[in-house]
């Protein structure tokens, strides 16, 4: 699936909550000898070769071999279930925030509260300031450490917009819809905007931007609000305007590079993909914060790293997490994989802040939220949300009855 402007003074991101509580004394289990053999790391998607490059200095300095295994994003649920049942999971695992609750509730992750004090790079003060413990802890126990930040911004082919008489990227959702309709009139197989049919966060971001929430005052999931209804009108309206492709296998990188879809919302990792695929487009595209309605709130969707409870390399795994949390390591990851740091020193480093794209990412991160950390968001609420919206947009199902069915599927679901 496919992934901050002056010196960054602490970035306070709503939901970017990195409360790694430091404990006194030696780390529990630090005298326990690890088993021999390589340390296994699961990384999501197609970034395994880049991760091997990232940890090569760690392997060289420690002598600890690291086996990196790429796990497709759509296979993680099955891998989690199988590994918990067999007790044969990896040592370290990348965890998207929407999966953190599922991993923790399954008992897959090693609690880290009494272990991280011996590893200086894992101290709470090292990471970006935040609110609460939603992004690292579940039920009050630290079960992961921050790895990469991720937010969504608007990517725009400025050359194509200019040729269509559009002077700048749209600053409001109404303007985006109008511009997308204009751009879609360029000819066959030309569109104005791209909606990933797998992106269950986009309609939530739209809801936030219309001033709403998907969690009520009692802490329950609730989509049946005026703001969500406006988001549905926007989401499905882009389809009814014929401004977006309807084929589910449309590739966002190819679509953006070819100009077929000159506007889309994605993460900073897309910038690296565009530069790699089409360096000749330099100067012909840009990024900007999300269009606004009442607000311009985006998604914070970073990834954490956790240690499997059954790991026989707990000390080695902690050392690896400590290495990955070094400022220099995080900056290297941004360089080779396009994903944003979580460590303050990296966020403030001149080599990072001098990147013109970083200013946009920083501004957007200041107005970004995490999705509710409920079990199986992607396979449950998120999947049902997309099923309903795509049914309306692609199959022309009755909006009211389709949404009523969706509301019933989330009735009484706690987001606490």
H runs (alpha helix) in 63-112: 76-86, 97-105
Model pLDDT for residues 125-173, shown as the tens digit of each residue: 888 765 334 468 787 888 999 999 889 999 999 999 999 999 999 999 9
Q: Determine the pLDDT at residue 362.
A: 86
User: Side-chain half-sphere of 217: how many Cα atoms within 13 Å?
Assistant: 0
- Select the CATH number that applies to the domain covering 39-151+300-369 from these four: 3.40.190.10, 3.40.50.1860, 2.40.110.10, 3.50.50.60: 3.40.190.10
The more confidently predicted of residues 328 and 142 is 328
Question: What's the 3-state SS for 240-287?
Answer: HCCCCCCCCCCCHHHHHHHCCCCEEEECCHHHHHHHHHCHHHCCCCEE
Tell me the C-alpha distance between 147 and 230, whole Å.
34
pLDDT above 60 for 324: yes
pLDDT digits (tens, 9 = 90+) for 206-258: 999 999 999 999 999 999 999 999 999 999 999 999 999 999 999 999 999 99
Give the model's pLDDT for residue 32.
63
Q: Do domains 39-151+300-369 and 153-299+373-410 have the same CATH topology?
A: yes
Question: What does the block give as tokens for 309?
Answer: 């409870």
63 CB-near residues (< 8 Å, 6+ apart): none
The predicted structure's pLDDT at residue 84: 85
pLDDT digits (tens, 9 = 90+) for 339-394: 899 999 998 999 999 999 999 998 998 899 889 888 878 889 999 999 999 999 99
CA dist., res. 312 & res. 168, Å (int): 54
- Residue 146's SS3 state is strand
pLDDT at residue number 135:
67
Tell me which residue of 184, 114, 134 sits closest to 304, measured CA to CA.
134
Run of H or E residues at 156? strand 153-156
What is the reported pLDDT for 21? 35
User: What's the confidence (pLDDT) of residue 139?
Assistant: 79
Buried b (16+ CB within 10 A) or exposed e, 290-315: bbbbeebbbbbbbbbbbbbbbbebbb
Summarize pLDDT for 251-294 with one digit per residue, the tens.
Answer: 999 999 999 999 999 999 899 899 999 999 999 999 999 999 99
Residue bearing the bigger pLDDT, 161 or 20: 161
The pair of structure tokens assigned to 195 is 């909606």
Tokens 């993680």, located at residue: 76
Percent of the chain with pLDDT strictly greater than 90? 69
Q: Over 80: is that where the pLDDT of 110 sits?
A: yes
Distances (CA, A) of 273 to 47, 57, 270, 277, 339: 12, 25, 5, 6, 11
- In angstroms, the Cα distances linking 265 to 205, 244, 288, 355 are 11, 13, 10, 20
Q: Classify residue 123 by burial, with Cβ atoms within 10 Å: 0-12, 13-18, 19+.
A: middle
Q: What is the rounded CA–CA span in Å between residue 327 and residue 70?
A: 24
How far apart, in whole angstroms, are the C-alpha atoms of residue 279 and residue 257? 10
Q: Write down the CATH superfamily of domain 153-299+373-410.
A: Periplasmic binding protein-like II (3.40.190.10)
- Is the pLDDT confidence value at 296 over 90? yes
pLDDT digits (tens, 9 = 90+) for 27-58: 334 446 798 899 999 999 888 999 999 999 99
Give the C-alpha distances (Å, rounded to integers) separating 120 from 60, 116, 117, 139, 341.
21, 8, 7, 24, 17
Every domain of the chain and the residues it spans: 39-151+300-369, 153-299+373-410
């Amino acid at each position: 699936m496919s992934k901050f402007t002056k010196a960054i003074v602490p970035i306070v991101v709503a939901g970017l909550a990195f409360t790694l509580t430091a404990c006194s004394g030696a780390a529990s289990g630090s005298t326990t000898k690890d088993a021999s053999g390589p340390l296994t790391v699961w990384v999501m998607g197609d970034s395994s070769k880049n991760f091997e490059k990232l940890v090569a200095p760690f392997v060289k300095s420690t002598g600890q071999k690291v086996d990196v295994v790429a796990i497709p994003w759509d296979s993680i649920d099955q891998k989690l279930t199988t590994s918990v049942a067999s007790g044969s999971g990896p040592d370290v695992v990348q965890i998207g925030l929407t999966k953190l609750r599922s991993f923790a509730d399954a008992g897959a992750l090693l609690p880290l509260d009494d272990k991280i004090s011996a590893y200086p790079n894992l101290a709470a003060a090292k990471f970006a300031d935040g609110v609460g413990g939603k992004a690292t802890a579940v039920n009050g126990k630290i079960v992961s450490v921050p790895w990469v930040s991720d937010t969504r911004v608007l990517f725009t082919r400025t050359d194509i917009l200019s040729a269509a008489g559009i002077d700048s990227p749209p600053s409001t959702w109404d303007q985006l819809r109008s511009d997308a309709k204009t751009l879609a009139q360029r000819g066959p197989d030309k569109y104005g905007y791209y909606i990933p049919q797998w992106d269950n966060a986009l309609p939530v971001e739209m809801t936030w931007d219309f001033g709403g929430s998907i969690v009520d005052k009692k802490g329950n999931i609730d989509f049946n609000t005026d703001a969500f209804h406006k988001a549905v009108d926007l989401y499905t309206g882009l389809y009814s305007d014929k401004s977006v492709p309807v084929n589910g296998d449309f590739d966002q990188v190819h679509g953006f590079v070819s100009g077929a879809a000159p506007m889309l919302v994605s993460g900073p990792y897309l910038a690296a993909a565009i530069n790699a695929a089409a360096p000749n487009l330099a100067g012909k595209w840009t990024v900007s914060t999300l269009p606004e309605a009442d607000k311009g709130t985006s998604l914070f969707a970073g990834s954490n790293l956790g240690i499997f409870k059954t790991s026989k390399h707990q000390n080695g795994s902690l050392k690896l997490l400590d290495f990955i949390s070094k400022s220099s390591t995080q900056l290297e990851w941004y360089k080779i994989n396009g994903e944003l740091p979580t460590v303050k020193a990296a966020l403030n480093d001149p080599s990072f802040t001098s990147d013109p794209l970083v200013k946009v990412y920083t501004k957007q991160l200041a107005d970004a939220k995490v999705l509710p950390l409920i079990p199986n968001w992607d396979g449950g609420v998120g999947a049902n949300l997309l099923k309903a919206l795509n049914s309306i947009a692609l199959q022309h199902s009755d909006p009211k009855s389709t949404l009523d069915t969706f509301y019933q599927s989330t009735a009484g679901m706690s987001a606490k």
